[in-house]
Amino acid sequence: MLTLGIARTGNTTIVRCMGRIVVGEALSKLHDVVLCELDQQTIVLDLAAVEVIDAGRLGLLVFLHTCAHGLGTELKLTNPTQHVDELLKLTNLDSVFEIVSLEDIGSRDAAVYRGERRCTRLSA
């Protein structure tokens, strides 16, 4: 199961991912959350609490990175676990994603957003 938390500071959104990033319904939630935040200058996926990410789901991260980049938003990663870090290196995606520290983006002052954010881009 994948749980997501959102924190915002300035033009940056931090998406805290907790659990497993594997095939399933929760992935559409990650997809939707990132797409809803594309109006931000930077989106950072905090992977500190990610237990597992399967190789197939790396494609979703690449897709989200491409979408963000095409719209002028930076998608970065922070705190990859050892498993995730090894997977990024094995697939050479560590050269695609910028991996930053939370201190670099000033997230310590971020206020956690609680509740649902409606995203008109996703509404039909």
Where residue 64 sits, what CATH number does that domain have? 3.30.750.24
Percent of the chain with pLDDT over 70: 82
59 part of a folded domain: yes
Domain count, the chain: 1
Element of type H or E holding 9 = strand 2-9
Residue bearing the bigger pLDDT, 65 or 122 = 65
Residue bearing the bigger pLDDT, 74 or 22 = 74
Tokens of 9: 């500071």
Name the band, by pLDDT with cuts 50, 70 and 90, for residue 80: very high
Residue bearing the bigger pLDDT, 2 or 107 = 2
123 part of a folded domain: no
16 part of a folded domain: yes
Is the predicted pLDDT of residue 121 greater than 80, yes or no? Answer: no
124 part of a folded domain: no
DSSP 16-70: EEEEEE-SSHHHHHHHHHHHHTTTSSEEEEEEEEEEEE-HHHHHHHHHHHHHHHH
14 part of a folded domain: yes
122 part of a folded domain: no
Alpha-carbon distance of 12 to 37, in angstroms, equals 9
121 part of a folded domain: no
Q: Which domain holds residue 26?
A: 2-116
User: Across all residues in the chain, what is the average pLDDT?
Assistant: 83
pLDDT tens by residue, 10-61: 899 999 999 998 887 666 889 999 999 999 999 999 999 998 888 778 899 9
CB atoms within 10 A of CB 45: 25
Most confident of 27-31, 54-58, 62-66, 112-116: 62-66
